[in-house]
């Protein structure tokens, strides 16, 4: 009997022919498990820690304070699928909405609102992000001090756009 018999080997979704005398194949480990679990930690705990670190924000007179109460990443409100984002040069992201409480210490008035903080890029199943239609792995190489950075820009027709970026002590940037 020929010990080097040809036999099919299933590898993920594909199948190939094997010629070895060993039929056991070592299962491929999940090489992106660390990145995926780190991103999931960021979405569930890291964001909360970042908001807790900066909350409450008090104005320089001490009359007003803004407290971050809760947040939610609205995965049901994703505009495009991953494939549509690649075709349309869009970013695969979900809106981040934050419940804030504004406390006026002078009048003791408290207002609570849900605000849109921005679109947070989502990780794909393969551990990548689709940013402006390009699928890539993002590694932050710039080092900035922790805090919130606000920026003012202009769109194509000259309309003023305001943006913010939350940079925590550790973890991923918002």
Nearest to 91 by CA among 120, 62, 117: 120
Question: Could you report the per-residue pLDDT of 30-75, keeping only the tens digit for each?
Answer: 888 888 888 899 999 999 998 988 888 888 888 999 999 999 998 8
Q: In which band, very low, low, confident or very high, does the pLDDT at 9 lie, cut at 50, 70 and 90?
A: confident
The reported pLDDT for the residue numbered 147 is 80
Each domain of the chain, given as residue ranges in start order, spans 33-142
* Mean of pLDDT over the chain: 83
pTM to 2 decimal places: 0.60
109-121/93-104 β-pairing: antiparallel
Tokens of 159: 């309309």
For tokens 């979704």, name the residue: 13
pLDDT score of 167: 78
Give the pair of three-digit tokens for residue 139: 């590694």
């Amino acid at each position: 009997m020929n010990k080097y018999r040809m036999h099919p080997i299933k590898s993920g979704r594909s199948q190939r022919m094997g010629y070895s005398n060993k039929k056991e194949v070592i299962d491929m480990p999940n090489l992106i498990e660390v990145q995926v679990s780190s991103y999931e930690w960021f979405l569930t705990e890291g964001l909360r820690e970042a908001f807790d670190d900066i909350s409450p924000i008090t104005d320089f007179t001490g009359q007003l304070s803004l407290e971050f109460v809760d947040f939610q990443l609205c995965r049901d409100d994703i505009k495009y699928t991953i494939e549509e984002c690649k075709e349309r040069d869009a970013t695969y992201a979900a809106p981040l909405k934050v419940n804030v409480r504004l406390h006026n210490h002078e009048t003791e008035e408290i207002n609570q609102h849900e605000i849109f903080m921005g679109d947070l890029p989502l990780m794909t199943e393969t551990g990548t992000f689709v940013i402006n239609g390009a699928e890539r792995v993002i590694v932050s190489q710039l080092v900035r001090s922790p805090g919130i950075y606000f920026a003012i820009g202009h769109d194509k027709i000259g309309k003023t756009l305001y943006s913010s970026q939350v940079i925590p002590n550790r973890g991923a940037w918002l």
